[in-house]
Amino acid sequence: MLFIMIISMAAAGRSLRPGGPFTQGAGAAIVATTIKVRNSIAKRHNRFPILTEMIRVTDFTITDGRLAPARWCPSPNFGPRPTDGAGDITLLVIHNISLPPGQYGGGYVEAFFQNRLPVADHPYFAEIAALQVSSHLFINRQGEVVQFVNLNDRAWHAGASCHSGRDNCNDYSVGIELEGTDTDAYTDAQYRTLIDVSEALLAAYPDLHRGRITGHEHIAPGRKTDPGIAFNWHRLFQGLAHRMNSASAQEDV
Ligand SMILES: [Zn+2]
């Protein structure tokens, strides 16, 4: 009975553990929920089963470079990755963007990455309209994901950049833009989605690991400042660590 109640709560997307990764989300988006009851402990102590962990498996899957269920909004701003292994995905770069700066919604980021920014709508747009840039993914303030470039292709998000002594990060990275600024706190929904998406990327690309998740400000210091002081790196890594620990614990049931 307790078990059924827990499943019901999980299906409703409610958190049983404040601050944990299993927090509320769009009910329909929660498609995979694993509940673990550590029966071995209960048997040893002759007590009722103890609920020890709840794991929400990532909702995202990657097939042929496309992230599902991200909304596909193709950008023409991309090229092929280098061949012979040089283009293997080994880095994840976090950015921020908002258009006009500091304003959210409006669809201008999508328009910008599709080279159709309406310059008459804001004075700032005239300054950037001629730029041809893109990212693979964009996570808006509601935590919704848009994909602009196939992950197998080289998006134009990092520019002049260097990570661990290797230049041209666009060659071997995935770029994720968070809708935001360097100083506005990112939303809970954005962190949830970012953790979900990152986990899917880590699973899909074996050479990508937690130590190779970085910010644009770190690969282009002095030139770029995003995702900025508002981005809580600890929250991202803690969220990923919890998932990984949960997943490995699950294997020894
Ligand atoms: Zn950036």
Per-residue confidence (pLDDT) for residue 225, from 0 to 100: 98
Give residue 220 CA to ligand 1 midpoint distance, Å: 9
Catalytic residue among 127, 144, 177, 251: 177
Is residue 144 part of the annotated active site? The answer reads: no
Give residue 58 CA to ligand 1 midpoint distance, Å: 25
Provide the edge-to-edge strand list for the sheet that holds 145-147: 71-72, 145-147, 137-139, 173-179, 91-97, 213-215
Give residue 224 CA to ligand 1 midpoint distance, Å: 7
Per-residue confidence (pLDDT) for residue 67, from 0 to 100: 98
Reported pTM: 0.77
Decide: 209 and 128 in contact? Cβ < 8 Å.
no
Task: Give 62's strand partners.
Answer: 67
Per-residue confidence (pLDDT) for residue 40, from 0 to 100: 33
| pLDDT tens, per residue, the chain with 253 residues | 333 333 333 333 333 333 333 333 333 333 333 323 233 333 334 444 444 334 455 789 999 999 999 999 999 999 999 999 999 999 999 999 999 999 999 999 999 999 999 999 999 999 999 999 999 999 999 999 999 999 999 999 999 999 999 999 999 999 999 999 999 999 999 999 999 999 999 999 999 999 999 999 999 999 999 999 999 999 999 999 987 666 655 555 5
Give residue 215 CA to ligand 1 midpoint distance, Å: 8
Ligand 1 ion: residues within 5 Å (CB) = 95, 216, 226
Give residue 4 CA to ligand 1 midpoint distance, Å: 45
CATH architecture of 61-232: 3-Layer(aba) Sandwich (3.40)
Decide: 36 and 7 in contact? Cβ < 8 Å.
no
Q: Would you list the domain boundaries of the chain? A: 2-57, 61-232
